[in-house]
Every structure is written in C-alpha cells, then in structure tokens.
C-alpha cells in the first residue's frame, strides 16, 4: 500500500497514521480539504483490518420506539416533532410500548432503542415505568435510550443531579445511551440547528456523566448543511477528547442530514465526500474501535461501499423508524444477503458489540 503514496502533505499524514501515530486536528483538516479520497479510503481500510477482520462485517437487530413526538427544542431540520399543547402529537402508553416490543421480539429483535421529543410535561415516573415494564417482560432485552438532550430534560424535571438520575434509570433497566442529538458539535452550528438545543458543553457533560456511571454507548456526526470542513473536524476532536477521558463510546456513526423541512439548508453530499469523511473518522478516531455506516439513512449502495472504506458495521436491522426517512434493511435475511453479496461473513452483534451470544443460531423470520 505504501507505494501509492507520493509527496503531498496529506500523503505524509496518512503514512503517519499507518505508522500508528495519532494525527492532529490540523492534519485531519488537511486530509478533508486536500487529501486524495482513494488514498484516505485505502488507509482507513488498512487500519480497520488491523483491528477487525476485513472478511467479516457486523449487523444488529433492534426496534426503535419513539415514545412521544411532542418536543420543545424545535430543531429546524426536524419534521417529526409536534408543538406541545397543539393536541396533534402523541405519547405512547406503557402498554403500547410493550405491544411494539412483542412484535419486535416475534421478528427476532432482542434490543430496544427508546427515544422521543423533549417533553417536560411527562413525569419522570413515565420513563421509569416504560423501562421497567419492558425489562420485567423481557429480562435479557438490551435497552438503549435517551439522547443527552433528553437526559438533560430529565435532570431538569426531577431537580436531581444528573448522575443520580442516571443511576435511577440504570436501576430499572437502562443499559446504554446513544450519543444522539450531537449533529455538529460547534456552538455556531447548534445555534443554526436550534437555539434551544443543548450546547456542545452540555452535550459533552451529559455524555461524560453517562460514561462515568457505567452507561456506554455510541456517538455520531450528521453533516451536509452549512457546517464548514473545520467544524466537522472540530466535532470529531470533541468526541476524541471525550473518549480519551472516559472510553465510553463503543462506536461512531457518520451520516448526512436528510431533507425534511424548508427551514434548514441541506446540501447533497456526494458519495465520494461521505466515504472520505468516513475514512477520516476511522483514521482520526483512533480510540473508538467500531465505525458504523447507516444503511437505513444512506441506502444499500453507499452502505456497501463504506465497508471497504473503514466501516465494519451496517447499524441495521432497524424495526420501525419514524424520525428519519429509511432506506434500510427490513429483515435479518436481507441483512445477511446484503453482507454476503459484498463478500463479507455476517456477524450479528448486540448493542455492546458482543458477538458470541449469536454464534450457531439461525436467522429470524422475514418481516411481512
């Protein structure tokens, strides 16, 4: 592989990464601005192969349950939310949540992703009842729930320290948390997304405390709006620095903004740019083992290419997703075929990246 490199500044940066040295934010920005996409992708693939076999790729099966669409954050890109008090939104009852999970379990899912709008009128007991009810009925169900933005809301409505809130949630069955609601972690972009949304500092504080109390999870970036290349790297730097302190991020997922409203500018991100950014994520985030691509958001074509450019997981199968337009794989059978068609040995994993529990099992039935 070293033979492909010439004498451009970005080439020496890639050589540095291949030699096991950490690249700086300035070097990551140089890669984004001037680096050869194919060289970046090749480097990312080689680094991925040093950690995980290039012959395999993983997938998972979980159900997304959006417990309410009432929200007071008013993100400009979001078409999912309803204004509090307009009477048009919904809040799922505990029974409705259980019904959704019954269906998911029947189709082979054993994990739950619980998320919703920021709705201060919902009492803390609601969240405890929902989680404890699911865990009581399905004791081995892994429950990942509540973005940092939702968690900060729970801190406010309870008046308790955030660590105490999280310990209570853990006590009734919360297993991990998503690093959702990040989008772009710069204050300029967060003000464009929504002036009411948690700041970069607040997001980091919430995630750091989650990790400190033993709630690991994921992190992501969503790009393809008015952000600059420097802001993309700034976001990755925030995540890398936090991971250095806590080690709580199991995976990182880059995806792109989807056109949902006229209030928010979205640009069409070329496939080459997406794969370039994904490759930079693998190279720069040297302390996060797994880089996922979202087939659900980006589609099968890009998803398959991403597995050759630094990603090792497809972040599917997702049963029900209301917030984002979905191009995803609907069944485990589809996921297996998708990976096998790309030349990969499929490995099913849980949300904590445990593979062993699925060894030797047959895939679940096809969803109707």
Q: What is the pLDDT confidence band of residue 356, given thresholds at 50, 70 and 90?
A: confident
CB 142 within 8 A of CB 189: no
Report pLDDT for 4.
53
Higher pLDDT, 258 or 44: 44
Residue linked to tokens 């929200």:
71
Rounded Cα distance, 204 and 238, in Å: 8
For 46-80, write each residue's pLDDT tens digit. 999 999 899 999 999 999 999 999 888 777 777 76
Report pLDDT for 365.
45
Grouping H, G, I as helix, E, B as strand and the rest as coil, residue 113 is strand
Please determine, for residue 155, whether its predicted confidence score (pLDDT) is greater than 70.
Answer: yes
Count other C-beta atoms under 10 Å from residue 3's C-beta.
5
Rounded Cα distance, 184 and 233, in Å: 10
Residue 113 in marked binding region: no
DSSP readout, 42-111?
Answer: HHHHHHHHHHS-TTEEEE--EEEEE-B-B-SS--TT-SS-B-TTSS---B--HHHHHHHHHHHHHTT--E
Higher pLDDT, 338 or 366: 338
Report pLDDT for 331.
87
Please determine, for residue 324, whether its predicted confidence score (pLDDT) is greater than 90.
Answer: no
Rounded Cα distance, 22 and 54, in Å: 22
Please determine, for residue 114, whether its predicted confidence score (pLDDT) is greater than 90.
Answer: yes
For 6-39, write each residue's pLDDT tens digit. 678 899 999 999 999 999 999 999 999 999 999 9
Over residues 196-200, mean pLDDT: 91
Rounded Cα distance, 194 and 183, in Å: 11
Rounded Cα distance, 64 and 75, in Å: 20
Average pLDDT, the chain: 91
Please determine, for residue 195, whether its predicted confidence score (pLDDT) is greater than 50.
Answer: yes
Considering only CA atoms, which of 301, 243, 239 is closest in space to residue 275?
301
Please determine, for residue 118, whether its predicted confidence score (pLDDT) is greater than 90.
Answer: no
Residue 225 in marked binding region: no
Report pLDDT for 368.
34
Considering only CA atoms, which of 303, 293, 309, 368 is closest in space to residue 341?
303
Higher pLDDT, 87 or 283: 283
Q: Fill in the DSSP letter of residue 220.
A: E
CB 223 within 8 A of CB 277: yes
CATH of the domain spanning 9-344: 3.20.20.70
How many residues make up the chain in this entry?
Answer: 368
For 204-223, write each residue's pLDDT tens digit. 999 999 999 999 999 999 99
Rounded Cα distance, 75 and 175, in Å: 27
Rounded Cα distance, 279 and 85, in Å: 44
Residue linked to tokens 């640009």:
267
For 277-312, write each residue's pLDDT tens digit. 999 999 999 999 999 998 888 889 999 999 999 999
Q: What is the pLDDT confidence band of residue 362, given thresholds at 50, 70 and 90?
A: low
Rounded Cα distance, 54 and 51, in Å: 9
Count other C-beta atoms under 10 Å from residue 257's C-beta.
22
Residue 183 in marked binding region: yes
Residue 210 in marked binding region: no
Report pLDDT for 73.
78
In the chain the first and final C-alpha atoms are separated, in Å, by 46
Residue 194 in marked binding region: no
Rounded Cα distance, 75 and 16, in Å: 39
Residue 132 in marked binding region: no
Over residues 81-104, mean pLDDT: 88
């Amino acid at each position: 592989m070293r033979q492909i490199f010439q004498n451009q500044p970005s080439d020496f940066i890639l050589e540095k990464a291949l030699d096991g040295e950490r690249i700086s934010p300035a070097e990551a920005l140089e890669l984004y601005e001037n680096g050869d996409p194919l060289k970046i992708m090749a480097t990312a693939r080689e680094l991925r192969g040093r950690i995980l076999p290039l012959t395999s790729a993983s997938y998972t099966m979980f159900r997304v349950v959006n417990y309410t669409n009432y929200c007071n954050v008013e993100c400009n890109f979001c078409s999912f939310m309803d204004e509090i008090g307009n009477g048009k939104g919904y809040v799922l009852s505990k029974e409705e949540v259980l019904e959704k999970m019954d269906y998911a379990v029947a189709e082979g899912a054993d994990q739950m992703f619980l998320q919703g709008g920021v709705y201060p009128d919902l009492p803390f007991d609601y969240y405890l009842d929902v989680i404890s009810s699911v865990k009581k009925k399905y004791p081995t169900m892994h429950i990942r729930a509540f973005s940092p933005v939702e968690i900060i809301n729970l801190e406010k409505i309870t008046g308790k320290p955030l660590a105490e809130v999280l310990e209570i949630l853990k006590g009734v069955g919360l297993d991990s948390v998503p690093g959702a609601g990040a989008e772009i972690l710069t204050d300029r972009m967060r003000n464009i997304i929504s002036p009411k949304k948690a700041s970069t500092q607040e997001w980091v504080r919430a995630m750091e405390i989650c990790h400190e109390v033993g709630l690991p999870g994921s992190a992501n970036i969503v790009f393809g709006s008015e952000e600059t290349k420097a802001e993309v790297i700034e976001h990755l730097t925030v995540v890398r620095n936090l991971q250095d302190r806590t080690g709580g991020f199991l995976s990182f997922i880059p995806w792109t903004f989807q056109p949902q409203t006229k209030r928010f500018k979205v640009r069409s991100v070329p496939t080459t740019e997406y794969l370039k950014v994904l490759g930079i994520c693998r190279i720069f985030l040297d302390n996060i083992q797994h880089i996922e691509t979202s087939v659900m958001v980006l589609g099968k074509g890009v998803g398959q290419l991403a597995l050759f450019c630094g990603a090792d997981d497809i972040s599917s199968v997702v049963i029900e997703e209301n917030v984002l337009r979905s191009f995803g794989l609907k069944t485990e059978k589809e996921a297996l075929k998708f990976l096998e068609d790309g030349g990969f040995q499929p490995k099913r994993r849980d949300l904590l990246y445990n593979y062993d529990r699925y060894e030797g099992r047959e895939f679940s039935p096809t969803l109707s």
